[in-house]
Structure 1
Amino acid sequence: MLASVLLKTLRDQGRLLLAWAVSLALIVATYAAVWPSVQSQPSISGFIEQMPEAFRSLFATSSADMSTPTGYIQVELLSFMGPIAVLIYAISAGAGAIGGEEDRHTMDLLLSNPVGRGRVVVDKFLAMVLGTFGLAAVMGVSLVLEGSMVDLVLPPDKVAAAMLHLALLGVVFGSLALALSAATGRTGLSRGVPAVLAVLAYIVNALAPLVDVFDRIQKVSPFFQYIAHDPLRQGVAWDSVLVSTATIAVLVALAVAGFRRRDVAG
């Protein structure tokens, strides 16, 4: 057992993170390989515009033009597949941070080390953050490098901004999973609730222009903080970064409080 919970967690996740990184690089490579054929068919943007507005809003921003590299990546990667990949990792890491140790009956061994419960939660949280930001970085670097090979040219600073917002989206829901895991020790619940809320948040943000009820609550959706300010075109939206960071801080505080006041199983 390593004295540092953070290093132990990263070590335990080493192979998993490598597999995730390779998978994301391959996903980006797939989209890059398809780009030349999309670029040669500018009529595809017109096809998207002919779709019903409710359906179109679920996977494209209002300014997305698939005949351009930025619009193509917005629609094909950043609106759906990218968030799904990052959310799956972050929620799984957050849910398994405490509940996973209890399921494996290793929590007693972990707490037998000279480390407090608050430190355990914070180190587990930091491991999830490093993993999530690392995967977002892999995706961003892959976009810039692999895209440049097929004339899918994207500004590196705007890609970095989009990846920052994407990583924060993952950490928000990963922190919720961590808070539930710390408070209940139940991994199924800790995965299921954030996953359902992520789907609801996505729908609220996407359909807000069409549904009055959603429009009134859109700004509380983490997906609004992620994509509504169009970071791939406009760069970092620091007000959204602040909102996401504050949300994460509250959820981590709840995780520490929840873990400290309950009995731990094994």
Structure 2
Amino acid sequence: MLRDITTKTLRDQGRTLVWWALSVVLLVAMYVAIWPSMRDQPALNDFLDQMPEAFRNLFATTGADMSTPIGYLQIELMSFMAPILVILYAVAAGSSAVAGEESRRTIDLLVTAPVSRRRIVLEKTLAMVVGTVGLAGLLGVALVVEGQFADMGLPPGRVAAAMLHLALLGLVFGAVALAVGCVTGQAGLSKAIPAGLAVVTYLVNGLGAMVSWLEPMQRLSPFYQYAAHDPLRNGVSWPGVVVALATVVVLVVLSVLGFERRDVRS
């Protein structure tokens, strides 16, 4: 089993993944159930228009129409709750990959197995990717399938594009957690740093259009790559995909180098 680290990692997370999947399905069901009562409330758009611009930018409400299914989901689900859900999972997976093993005193089982440290990191990364993409994919399937019960008529292609960007957003922060864990071996740091970074980059993206000194940094925010193109309405932004993938690859390389050069705590 130790020779297939990816399978073992996913198997160890089996019960946790089931709860994550159930939570996603129930969360989507809640938003779908609320939709019929929201589409007949045109005053909501007036309320959104009267909100300060900073709030509209932070919650991705600029140009969104609450009377349409896509606008409703963009505001209520995709701007905040869905990113939080996927980022939490990815960070937890990235943190537990190496730093978590050290904190549980199980790292010896990995480093003494007939596999290289590089392979350990890469297979742990693959497990994180499979889990994160699977969670985002399940969210998309739940939106399309459950949305039919409320006549939302969501276009599967646009939903798939939004889920691709959502999964990449989670993987960026998951890769940060992995890199910090591989370099330091500290489980607490590997969770705290990506969490703090997520908050900072979220604010930078939301306020970048309003604060002149933040504007140059806005395009560096993973949330900009996730939401600026509005994939739920416009499809995949391939430049955004490339930037997110490149970020993940760089962080994984740093993870490999950090873990190979560090003395592991037993």
What TM-score, normalized to structure 2? 0.98
In the alignment, what sits opposite 1:39?
39
State the distance in 1 between where 2:250 and 2:199 align: 21
Specify the SS of the correspondent of 2:219: helix
Specify the SS of the correspondent of 1:211: coil
Q: Which amino acid aligns with 2:149?
A: M
In the alignment, what sits opposite 2:26?
26
1:83 aligns with 2:83: yes
State the distance in 1 between where 2:26 and 2:100 align: 29
State the distance in 2 between where 1:8 and 1:177 align: 20
Which range moves more in the overlay, 105-114 or 69-78? 105-114
Instruction: State how 1:188-203 maps to structure 2 within 5 Å.
Output: 188-203=188-203
- Structure 1 residue runs without a partner (length 5+): none
Specify the SS of the correspondent of 1:163: helix
In the alignment, what sits opposite 2:69?
69
State the distance in 1 between where 2:175 and 2:57 align: 27
Instruction: State how 1:116-127 maps to structure 2 within 5 Å.
Output: 116-127=116-127
- Structure 2 residue runs without a partner (length 5+): none
In the alignment, what sits opposite 2:145?
145
In the alignment, what sits opposite 2:96?
96
Q: 1:171-197, CA deviations, whole angstroms, 9 ceiling, x for partnerless residues?
A: 001001000000111011000010011
Specify the SS of the correspondent of 1:135: helix
In the alignment, what sits opposite 2:131?
131
Shift of 1:208: 1.2
State whether residues 64 and 72 of structure 2, in contact with CA within 8 Å, keep that contact through their aligned partners in structure 1.
Answer: yes
In the alignment, what sits opposite 2:8?
8
**Count of paired positions:** 266
In the alignment, what sits opposite 2:244?
244
Shift of 1:3: 1.6
Shift of 1:207: 1.0
State the distance in 2 between where 1:176 and 1:79 align: 21
Shift of 1:57: 1.6
Q: Which amino acid aligns with 1:115?
A: V
In the alignment, what sits opposite 1:170?
170
Q: 1:106-128, CA deviations, whole angstroms, 9 ceiling, x for partnerless residues?
A: 11112221100000000010100
Identity of aligned residues (%): 58
State the distance in 2 between where 1:173 and 1:236 align: 20
In the alignment, what sits opposite 1:115?
115
In the alignment, what sits opposite 1:209?
209
State whether residues 2 and 110 of structure 2, in contact with CA within 8 Å, keep that contact through their aligned partners in structure 1.
Answer: no
Specify the SS of the correspondent of 1:73: helix
Shift of 1:214: 1.5
Shift of 1:2: 3.1
Which range moves more in the overlay, 57-66 or 240-249? 57-66
Specify the SS of the correspondent of 1:220: coil
Q: Which amino acid aligns with 2:171?
A: V
State the distance in 2 between where 1:213 and 1:79 align: 24
Q: Which amino acid aligns with 2:130?
A: L
State the distance in 1 between where 2:228 and 2:60 align: 11
State the distance in 2 between where 1:240 and 1:41 align: 34
Q: Which amino acid aligns with 2:55?
A: F
CA RMSD, Structure 1 to Structure 2 (Å): 0.8
State the distance in 1 between where 2:172 and 2:61 align: 22
Shift of 1:137: 0.5
Shift of 1:60: 2.3
Q: Which amino acid aligns with 1:195?
A: A
What TM-score, normalized to structure 1? 0.98
State the distance in 2 between where 1:15 and 1:209 align: 42
Specify the SS of the correspondent of 1:152: coil
Specify the SS of the correspondent of 1:62: coil
State the distance in 2 between where 1:207 and 1:66 align: 22
Structure 1 runs (4+) deviating above 4 angstroms are: none
State the distance in 2 between where 1:264 and 1:52 align: 50
Instruction: State how 1:224-235 maps to structure 2 within 5 Å.
Output: 224-235=224-235
